[in-house]
Structure 1
């Protein structure tokens, strides 16, 4: 499969997005022809584009068509990104735009969609002329580069930046007719199988993301893959060198400067006098190549001296990069520069003047604070509390962190591992203060240097705070310490400690196993465990279980759980399940099949129950992998099912849905029983699984 994806990327005229990779696999991209076959794809099911601006633009992966009299143009959306008019021609970007929500108030963000008009075969001379006429028309569906201009999708709960999710949503909705042409078609015949189709679609996209990243012949940026050889041609050229020079220049005084990719590419097109440099799919390739070139400079450590460069918004104008003079503040010091943090938008919002602050108080600098993770959805901070902050009821945070949180009073959910806290300690209100939060009531069992993990959703008002138990308690002087701590801070408060082995005591960390567009965050592991212990449903052997949606809401509050945040939590839980920290099962409930994650206590009873569940899940998974579900197969025109097939269908419907089920087989279809692959029609699949 990796080899096939590499070959598809080579054959295409633009970068391969995970959505177009799905199309290539699902609909069968012909490598010899360099195009899809219309034998499978029905152009009548393509999204019809009118002369007006599409609201919203179709997501990446969508097949589109334009009808002009007797002529039709067919294409596939291969890339899409923001097209805000607020960005200057030289790429300078107002910091409030970088990482801003897709819909901010009454205005909806503009977007650009790049279409591959030769995805279904080379254009004829007549089609070339029609496309040229449309590009010249001031009221046409496409602009002079052959791109669609419109607004981003703000429907449903999905972010308009998440084209993988938008395309999956499209395929299960308006694009259902196209999806029905492939292997998932049988699942769409019965409404009871819709959830199974959605889950299968999610798994397909997740697997393709991983395969693209593993392919040695592909360079991957965001959800786009470009052949390495093709990218190296760009990276070794003068345009890449000029972009690196421009993007690594901070603003005056070393302040952050935000620069967008697309306007700089347009300026280069004008300077070079090459009117074809950014037309059609070349625009998508240039956008991906430019970002990859900048990312390589960051990872190789070859930036100009004293400059910090990082991506701040991977969607707006093809990517907005942030350059500032070193040193960076504590918020950025430990953050991955290739994870878009959206600092520009939230840092430009002035603090609420009504927030209680006491600037006369000196800031306590002896607590040890590190930003473990920061992106546009999530903030994770580790804190070792000094004696002064512990006594004063403060939660110290880096200067910029409060501006990334919601305004007004904040809710602190405090979890003290292994200890049940009173309600007023477990859930309490805190206030913004210079250097952190104030009015915090710490449990009496806290001691100087105790280590906390703090997480919050960006712009959220609920923070989750937890301690972590040591593998074994440690006696220090006359006290027994149960939780991880900073020995230096403890020694400053209690005097010299004659325990050299404590120096460098660190929380256990797990290297992420998964990858993908929303990679797992190992710093969330202790918080996920704490949320399961506090809010999880009690099960066998006093286990605790929640699905991904419930877990995310318990950690951050239900009002701020966005798709990126939800998938970060789910992927972290999947990593924890892979190393045995949790178990992962699929449980049908109210018509949906969410992944449920379960924490188990360290008891013999729990270990036996956990092993039994793992064996059941493995057995069912193996059975399902080799069995094909029953389905209704469309027959050629003029043919109908035999009486025997109709009888089998009626029997199956009553077995699955009960005696009141509709047992009439649709006209023009026959019924294929579920069977083990390669063995023909065997006993019904659900009967086999009941044994």
Structure 2
């Protein structure tokens, strides 16, 4: 029996020791908006790898102080807001030059245009305005039970799902969402008595939150992650705020004057990547999904004996795992059981939870609990199992504060990372695909017998790495090679793997590994391999076994010229085009993929496959593969997306035949014809290029180390000079910025300049 520990014990070990506060020089002081120069710099628009160390250190220093001082979790979007809109660590946005009158008004229970985490809003109070920042949100589907019970189909369900394998197609889906707010972000938080009164009047729910129907403009937007949706929001509904002169560094000022909308989008992605990297590099925080919480706050919870402290959450983690065990029997032959628990709903049931779960405390508690669950698994699960039988994993990170899936006895998913949500609940309600035999994914690897090279001293072969090999940490062996290893008595033994990535220096822990030989399985494998991050699905590896040794040498081979496939995947090493089509392109999880991505994925993964990676799928099979059923509604939705993909040239349509053996291409004379959707990979040879809309062309980055910015001078008893007022008007007009036409009183404008000048 696997020894068990308290579920909170591993979380305790994850906490960094407290660091004593020391006196800080001015250089080590966190950024002060509108007093110091801008924190965001042109280099940050290119991404974190282009940022000078001193600038990255300044951002980390500020974000570390931000997480420590706020009583809310800090999502990447919220961290971006702080850097971009100038959150003062003492007064919040109270001293910022932004205009809250432009914020959207939100009322409890209403259907609104969907808002992202990070949105600045005005809460409809019936009286004085209440300005707030959305710091956390989650799905609040009506099918979530108060005790945390969840119907399995809801876990990982796409927008528009109404039941097991059932979806209603809406051009503008409306999702039930819980918005958690920071009401003190402008230094004007209502008192506890005022919030209680507003709750009685129906302005907040019992937890001080807003439950709303969120209307998304398209299904694709509803399925974006939080950061992707916020970037879209800032470039659309929030554009005036993003391009406002009130921001310490409006986006256009980071770029050259000829930068267009596509460069704004790329620059925004670069800024988000930089902020994300800085948050993740902080040793004073823990990260759950895209939220940062302080280690000190988590430590305080783990030391607490109050409601929702260490004992309560440890008990809940254990109970959630044990929910999959039979009530009466512990025998090995017990039937498989799977349970789903929404963590947010379940936490609200704990005795004494009303106060700690109120307001932003709800978000802190939910995120802490998820981290404690994850640490419990890392510390106590052996081969992915708790109590030798239960596999516990996060299945949906958004709905109900996170839906956790417990399965016993055992699980086919036990070796997958349990903190990556995969939406098995929804996926298992879909009917398994049943296409004709010719449409079934063939095994793309070459026949091992054809590839085995045998000499007196060694055996070598070439294998293409599959996605499942990377995910499960195995090296598949050709049967002839497995037979020879069996003859050398290697079955069940540990073998040393010496990995070489041609043209690259691997980390020592990647370059030399130990793996266990399972030579009688189907297929025969070496298990326990931790494939290097740069090894992608489809990469061709040459494996060499010097006879009579316990060592395998595994190496990749550089291409003569790098290639880029579909402007999505940069490849420098020899690869199998078939597996790249099947496994490597668009590995977005099913829960977050758009309809267009799911259509393209179905063609790639289920189509008739050619050696060059071309895939063809019968058009009349598409709805079944994407939705699990073919109805008038699903066919209509598929038609729209297929037309768009054909118009863009992503898919083409050709004619094949339906024969007794399945789909055939080219068409066979005398056989019924069938339209086929054809995916052809676009392969461009040459040096790797920046990906479209993900990396900004450096030619469009501003040349000034310090961009123009506003500085507060009212407290100094000064006023702006006519020269500064004229410079402000010129910059506002030249860059097409929103905001006041004239420089606000109490502020001046600092022209762009080089640091130190």
Q: CA deviation at 1:315?
A: 0.8
> Quick one: distance in 2 between partners of 1:62 and 1:143?
19
Q: CA deviation at 1:295?
A: 0.8
Q: CA deviation at 1:100?
A: 1.0
In the alignment, what sits opposite 1:430?
439
In the alignment, what sits opposite 2:141?
84
Is 1:200 aligned with 2:277? no
In the alignment, what sits opposite 1:112?
178
3-state SS of 1:55 partner: strand
In the alignment, what sits opposite 1:309?
392
Q: CA deviation at 1:171?
A: 1.2
3-state SS of 1:335 partner: coil
8 Å CA contact retained: 2:136, 2:179: yes
In the alignment, what sits opposite 1:475?
454
8 Å CA contact retained: 1:45, 1:175: no
Q: CA deviation at 1:160?
A: 4.2
Q: CA deviation at 1:25?
A: 1.7
Which of these residues, 27, 36, 39, is aligned with residue 96 of structure 2?
39
Which of these residues, 19, 28, 36, is aligned with residue 77 of structure 2?
19
Which of these residues, 186, 193, 196, is aligned with residue 132 of structure 1?
196
Q: CA deviation at 1:639?
A: 8.6
Residues 30, 640 of structure 1: CA spacing in aligned structure 2 closer, same or farther, 3 A cutoff? closer
1:359-390 superposed Cα distances (whole Å, 9 cap, x missing partner): xxxxxxxxxxxxxxxxxxxxxxxxxxxxxxxx
In the alignment, what sits opposite 1:73?
130
8 Å CA contact retained: 1:312, 1:320: yes
Residues 508, 68 of structure 1: CA spacing in aligned structure 2 closer, same or farther, 3 A cutoff? same
3-state SS of 1:323 partner: strand
Residues 512, 556 of structure 1: CA spacing in aligned structure 2 closer, same or farther, 3 A cutoff? farther
8 Å CA contact retained: 2:114, 2:216: no
Is 1:446 aligned with 2:447? yes
> Quick one: distance in 2 between partners of 1:186 and 1:488?
56
TM-score (norm 1): 0.60
In the alignment, what sits opposite 1:466?
none
8 Å CA contact retained: 1:637, 1:668: no
8 Å CA contact retained: 2:73, 2:135: yes
Q: CA deviation at 1:497?
A: 7.2
In the alignment, what sits opposite 1:248?
321
Residues 639, 86 of structure 1: CA spacing in aligned structure 2 closer, same or farther, 3 A cutoff? same
Query: Where in structure 2 are the equivalents of 1:221-620 lying within 5 Å?
Result: 221-236=288-303, 237-251=310-324, 252=326, 253=334, 255-268=337-350, 271-272=351-352, 275-301=354-380, 303-329=386-412, 332-351=413-432, 355=434, 408=435, 429-431=438-440, 440=442, 446-448=447-449, 474-476=453-455, 482-484=461-463, 489-491=479-481, 522=533, 525-527=536-538, 543-546=562-565, 548-549=567-568, 555=581
In the alignment, what sits opposite 1:371?
none
8 Å CA contact retained: 2:256, 2:700: no
> Quick one: distance in 1 between partners of 2:540 and 2:570?
10
8 Å CA contact retained: 1:449, 1:488: no
8 Å CA contact retained: 1:486, 1:505: no
Query: Where in structure 2 are the equivalents of 1:143-222 lying within 5 Å?
Result: 143-152=205-214, 154-156=216-218, 157-160=220-223, 162-181=225-244, 182=247, 183-187=249-253, 192-222=259-289
8 Å CA contact retained: 1:17, 1:79: yes
3-state SS of 2:439 partner: strand
> Quick one: distance in 2 between partners of 1:559 and 1:340?
19
In the alignment, what sits opposite 1:603?
none
> Quick one: distance in 1 between partners of 2:585 and 2:280?
33
1:203-260 superposed Cα distances (whole Å, 9 cap, x missing partner): 2222222222221111111111111121123234222122112211143345221111
TM-score (norm 2): 0.55
Residues 63, 493 of structure 1: CA spacing in aligned structure 2 closer, same or farther, 3 A cutoff? same
> Quick one: distance in 1 between partners of 2:709 and 2:563?
40
Higher helix share: 1
Structure with the larger RCO, 1 or 2 (CA within 8 Å, 6+ apart) = 2
Gapped regions of structure 1 (runs ≥ 5): 356-407, 411-428, 432-436, 451-472, 514-519, 531-539, 569-589, 591-596, 601-605, 654-661, 681-691
Which of these residues, 62, 66, 74, is aligned with residue 4 of structure 1?
62
Gapped regions of structure 2 (runs ≥ 5): 1-58, 162-166, 304-309, 327-333, 464-474, 510-530, 542-558, 572-576, 598-647, 649-681, 712-718, 744-748
1:91-147 superposed Cα distances (whole Å, 9 cap, x missing partner): 12221111111332237431111011111114255xx65543332234x4x312221
